[in-house]
Structure 1
């Protein structure tokens, strides 16, 4: 048996929920997404603010699709979704739940540059929150952002996450320590973001 065979078997067993709000969809990442995934992970912002491998290659994308994502679903360690346009199904990015512990998990997201600025990221996060709180019955979700990734922190705020703390040297970024912001959202507060929008709350760096 080759090393690849177990991952192929795992992939065939994976059933990834399909989630949509009519504009954005979360679905299983597939072989046809490989080229766009590679382009997204080569984007300088992705390299700066996420843990994607440097010089991301077609082989990296294929391994992520064929092995890493299916294995995460099979062993329960990471639930990874493709973020896709609900109309033409093109890949926009990826989003996941990881670091499960008791009734909590962490959120991770990487949206390609072509999909930024139109609200797709927030829609994807809101779909993931619904899945986490209403299907998995998680009690808390956590959001980590490297300092000073204000874009990530603002997205978390828009989704209702509350800033908790800044930890010096908390994150390991390819072997280098980095300060990190930690934000959290409890299931009982999952409607916080919509209430804030209804009240006309405006983002500032001290909004949390």
Structure 2
């Protein structure tokens, strides 16, 4: 499958490569990434290389798992975003962002680019994209909310993180014709609301 490079002039998305191993390793030391994403801890270079060899490359080859590095326009790696389990015109979106790139709207821009590739004409022609996050991952939920995902509920014991414990997960969907902007007020129970 071709590897589309996506950009809005502020954020650049292209598949991660061997040259990103150090940046991936450094970012995955962050306790917040480890708190919400099932990455090994401690995270070593071998894990980053394994991610490239066992997830990124075969995912692009099969077309069933598309992973982009989230970058500054100069190519500096800031995070990862991907479409997972692509089948029957649906996929699940997942993402993480390094601590030095947060609070700048970077991931909201990256999600908008990936949703355009997934759902717009001329892209992957998907009918639906799903988002899931461990209950309590408010930063991920805010990005999904901004993108227009409709949070449809909580799935009990849905996700397993690196500790092997099953956690409840929020789940939301975005259909091809849905607006890509908030469809409901921000939840009053969110921290800082």
TM over 0.5: yes
Q: Following the alignment from structure 1 to structure 2, what is the Cα–Cα distance between the partners of residues 176 and 140?
A: 29
1:98 & 1:139 partners in 2: Cα distance?
A: 14
Corresponding residue for residue 151 of structure 1: 139
- Alpha-carbon shift at residue 181 of structure 1 (Å): 0.3
- Tell me which residue corresponds to 2:24: 37
| Aligned positions, number | 187
Contact 2:158 2:168 in 1 (8 A): yes
Structure 1: tracts of 5 or more residues without a match: 1-13
Residue in 2 aligned with 1:7?
A: none
Q: Following superposition, which runs of at least 4 residues in structure 1 exceed 4 angstroms of deviation?
A: none
- What RMSD over aligned residues (CA atoms) do the two structures have, in Å? 1.9
1:40-79 maps to which residues of 2 (within 5 A)?
A: 40-79=27-66
Q: Which has the larger radius of gyration?
A: 1
For 2:15 and 2:48, how far apart are their aligned partners in 1?
A: 14
- Report the alpha carbon displacement of residue 192 of structure 1 after superposing the two structures with TM: 3.6
State the Cα distance separating 1:105 from its structure 2 match.
0.5
DSSP-derived class of the 2:28 partner: helix
Deviation at 1:171, TM superposition (A): 1.3
- Which of 174, 177, 186 matches 2:175? 186
Partner of 1:5: none
- Higher normalized helix content (fraction of residues): 1
Unaligned 5+ segments in structure 2 are: none
Which secondary structure does the structure 1 equivalent of 2:167 belong to?
A: strand
- Report the CA distance between 1:133 and its aligned residue: 0.7
